[in-house]
Amino acid sequence: MSNAQDFILAVEGLTVSFDGFKAVDDLSFYVDPQEIRVIIGPNGAGKTTVLDLICGKTRATEGSIKFRGRELTRMSEHAIVHAGVGRKFQNPSVFEDLTVFENLEISYPRGRSVFGALLFRRDKAVLDAVHETAATVFLSDHLDQPAGLLSHGQKQWLEIGMLLIQDPELLMLDEPVAGMSVAERRQTAELLRTITRQRSVIVIEHDMQFVEDIAHRVTVMHQGRMLAEGSLEHVKNDPRVVEVYLGHRESREEAAHA
């Protein structure tokens, strides 16, 4: 096999079975430094589960996940974060009882131990990082608002901001524009274009326009396995992909527009 050191992320033979049902089945793929990889596939294909496996939320039954040469499959969740992997969940996952400011501050990568948190000081570096991040994710005017009062789209942005302030080397985003209005979608696409520079990104997304805009390479999943991989142009013309995914999507979208 290829030398795992060249890749920022090397997933090999990854399998997870839930009571015998293989949600991810012998999956292998490699992500280069600075690459933006998009994973597409029908609902239930196992896309979210792949991110769960990488960030440690779910434990692999078999296979290996190497991040910059370090095996992640046996590391605890917070250690994976410390190693430089950040993850956004499919449903916005923010601390609703805390303000936008506090949400971002908690995500700032300092004072993460018990005593570190007790002695944490809100100094200039923290304030600057929080304000800068808030500006990036369009939430400067909402810093003192409880996150629970934000709109759905704003919560998505806040969660993206919480990842940004962690400054991860590998950013994983699960359907970042799902449930957003058209205007919010455009703003988010713009946002993602700026924040995905300088780091590797794995994005799960259904919005084809969006995929076309940002993807370097696309991985198509179906029933836990990889169906096709390559440039968007390449996978779009793969008859199997059209069969299980794109064909259905187009007919569904037509139905939705009708």
Partner 1 sequence: MTALRNLFSGREVLYFLLLAVLLVVVLPLALDAFRLNLTGKYLTFAFVALGLVLCWGYGGVLSLGQGVFFGLGGYCMAMFLKLEASDMASTARQTTPGIPDFMDWNQVTELPWFWEPFHSLTFTLLAVLVVPAVFAFVIGFAMFKRRVGGVYFAIITQAIATILTILIIGQQGYTGGANGMTDLRTLLGWDIRTDDAKQILYFLCVFLLLLCLVLAHLILRSKFGRILVAMRDREDRVRFSGYDVSGFKIFVFCLAGVFSAIGGAMFTLQVGFMSPSFVGIVPSIEMVIFCAVGGRLSLLGAVYGALIVNLAKTSFSESFPELWLYAMGALFIAVVLAFPNGLAGLYSRYLEPLLDRGWANVRSRAVAVPPAQEKTS
Ligand X SMILES: Nc1ncnc2c1ncn2[C@@H]1O[C@H](COP(=O)(O)OP(=O)(O)O)[C@@H](O)[C@H]1O
Could you list the residues that contact ligand X (CB under 6 A)?
18, 23, 41, 43-49
List interacting residues with partner 1 (CB under 8 A): 55, 57, 76-78, 81-82, 86-87, 89, 93-98, 102, 105-107, 109, 111-114, 117-120, 162, 166
Of 31 and 51, which CB lies nearer to ligand X in the complex structure?
Answer: 51
Site membership for Mg ion, residue 48 (CB under 5 A): yes
Site membership for Mg ion, residue 103 (CB under 5 A): no
Here the tokens at position 18 are 């839930």
For residue 203, list its beta bridge partners.
38, 173
CA distances from residue 72 to 28, 116, 239 in whole angstroms, order as listed: 15, 25, 35
DSSP code for 108? S
Closest distance to partner 1 from the beta carbon of 135 (Å): 20
Of 68 and 249, which CB lies nearer to partner 1 in the complex structure?
Answer: 68
Closest distance to partner 1 from the beta carbon of 120 (Å): 4
Binding partner selected for residue 222 from Mg ion, partner 1, ligand X, none, CB under the kind-specific 5 to 8 Å limit: none
Closest distance to ligand X from the beta carbon of 53 (Å): 10
* Helix-, strand-, coil-residue percentages of the chain, each rounded to 5: 45, 25, 35
DSSP code for 72? -
CA 225 to CA 45: how far, in whole Å? 8
* Burial (CB count within 10 angstroms: exposed 0-12, middle 13-18, buried 19+), residue 167: middle
Helix (H, G, I), strand (E, B) or coil at 238: coil
Of 2 and 76, which CB lies nearer to partner 1 in the complex structure?
Answer: 76
Of 24 and 85, which CB lies nearer to ligand X in the complex structure?
Answer: 24
Closest distance to partner 1 from the beta carbon of 145 (Å): 15
